[in-house]
Structures are given as C-alpha cells and as structure tokens.
Amino acid sequence: RRRQRQRCIRDRYLPPALRQAGEGDAVKVDLNRPMKEILAQLSQYPVSTRLSLTGTIIVGRDIAHAKLKERIESGEDLPQYIKDHPIYYAGPAKTPAGYPSGSLGPTTAGRMDSYVDLLQSHGGSMIMLAKGNRSQQVTDACKKHGGFYLGSIGGPAAVLAQQSIKHLECVEYPELGMEAIWKIEVEDFPAFILVDDKGNDFFQQIVSKQCANCAK
C-alpha cells in the first residue's frame, strides 16, 4: 500500500522526463553505514536512478549553512554529523499531535550552491537532498570531491512527513527554530540521483537533448 501511495505521489509531482527515467524498482540505500560505503553504492548508478532512503539525515537551510561556514573560517572543524550523514535542505513546520514531524518539504537547492565546494572540501555535505537544479559550481564540486545531489519531491511534503519520517530532533542551534540544524530518521524516503560524482547533471542532460532536437 505504501508503494502504491508513493507511486501516486511520484506520478502527480515529478516532471515527465524524470518520472520515465525512474521507472522500475527503487534502489534501497541504507544511510546508517559509513559515508564512504554510501558514496560507493551511489557511484554505481547513473543520474535519474530512483532511490529509497532509510536511516539518518541531517536537516538544515541557509542559516545553518552560514553557521557551518563560520566554523571553517574561524579555524574549527566541521561537526561530525555533517560528515557522517546526508543533508536535506529543509525546515520543519510545527509538529502536529500524533505525528513524528510537521511538513518537511525540500527547499530550493540553488540557495546553498555557494557553500558546497567549501563544505565538501572539509568532508561535509557529501550527499545533498533538495529540489530544483544546481549551478555548474555544484556539479564541479561533486566531481572534484566525490559528492552527490539527490532530488526530492517538492509537492507532497505533509504526506512524506507522515509516511517516511519516523523521528525528528534538534541537533544544534535550537534558538533558530525551524532554521536550526535537525536530524530525522526516515524509512523508504523517495529520491533521485540528479548530480553524480562524475560530473553528470540530470537537468543539464535534459536541456542538451531538447537543444539537440531543436537543431534537427
């Protein structure tokens, strides 16, 4: 039943090109393994591959990234949690009674583009999860440092929170409210590989194909 609901969500909210590319069984990814093992698994698959994520994910947006940048610039190391786990660009809404989390939809990824190379060069933010396309500097950083950008489904945030997010807790900066750094435990959280460790960008491939068709 869960798979049927997730398929309905995918069919409603995903762009046709990504929906068609992601047909078939999702690749199961256990996030509670060393980051090196997770990256090695993702490296086996092309962009557009559909994933099902289970395990721990760190959650943070603009202010959280600015805080991490400040640490590096002041000579501190990144916290271990940003090295050990993927980061989801999001901010949780208020948690309703009886739910593990409020709506937790992805933030537009481009707002964090300027931080990626710096964080990855210090061993953090190796797997990013959000919505939308990324700039060339992110593609270059992922190729240089072996990172990945995964796409999440932007529309049904409340549904995903109910079905896939099992636990939510604040990790750091609680005074920032929803802009704090959080940790979630997820089960069968849907995602797609959009930028890989080889310099491939799914959205750029689509644009290139469209341009090629126009030239014919």
Is 214's pLDDT higher than 80?
Answer: no
Q: State pTM to two decimals.
A: 0.84
Query: Taking a C-beta distance cutoff of 8 angstroms, is the pair 204, 82 a contact?
Result: no
Give the model's pLDDT for residue 115.
98
Mean pLDDT of the region 173-197: 94
- Which of the four pLDDT bands, split at 50, 70 and 90, describes residue 102? low
- Which of the four pLDDT bands, split at 50, 70 and 90, describes residue 36? very high
> DSSP string covering 101-148, please?
-S--PBPBGGGGHHHHHHHHHTT---EEEEBS---HHHHHHHHHHT-E
Is 1's pLDDT higher than 90?
Answer: no
Mean pLDDT of the region 92-104: 69
Is 21's pLDDT higher than 50?
Answer: no
Give the model's pLDDT for residue 98.
65
Give the model's pLDDT for residue 14.
47
Cβ atoms within 10 Å, residue 9: 17
Q: Using one digit for the tens of pLDDT, what is the confidence trace for 131-154?
A: 989 999 999 999 999 999 999 876
Mean pLDDT of the region 20-24: 46
Mean pLDDT of the residues in the chain: 84
Q: Using one digit for the tens of pLDDT, what is the confidence trace for 37-91?
A: 999 999 999 999 999 999 999 999 999 999 999 999 999 999 999 999 999 998 8
Cβ atoms within 10 Å, residue 151: 29
> What secondary structure, in 3-state letters, does 6-52 show?
HHHHHHHHCCHHHHHHCCCCCEEEECCCCHHHHHHHHCCCCCCCEEE
More confident call, 92 vs 68: 68
Residue 6 CB-half CA count within 13 A: 22
> DSSP string covering 49-82, please?
-EEEEEEEEEE--HHHHHHHHHHHHTTPPPPHHH
Find the angle CA(54)-CA(120)-CA(90) to the nearest 5 degrees. Answer: 50
Give the model's pLDDT for residue 107.
84
Tell me the two tokens of residue 47: 């962009």
Q: What are the backbone dihedrals phi and psi of residue 213, each rounded to the nearest 5 degrees, phi first?
A: -65, -35
Domains detected in the chain: 2-215 (3.20.130.10)
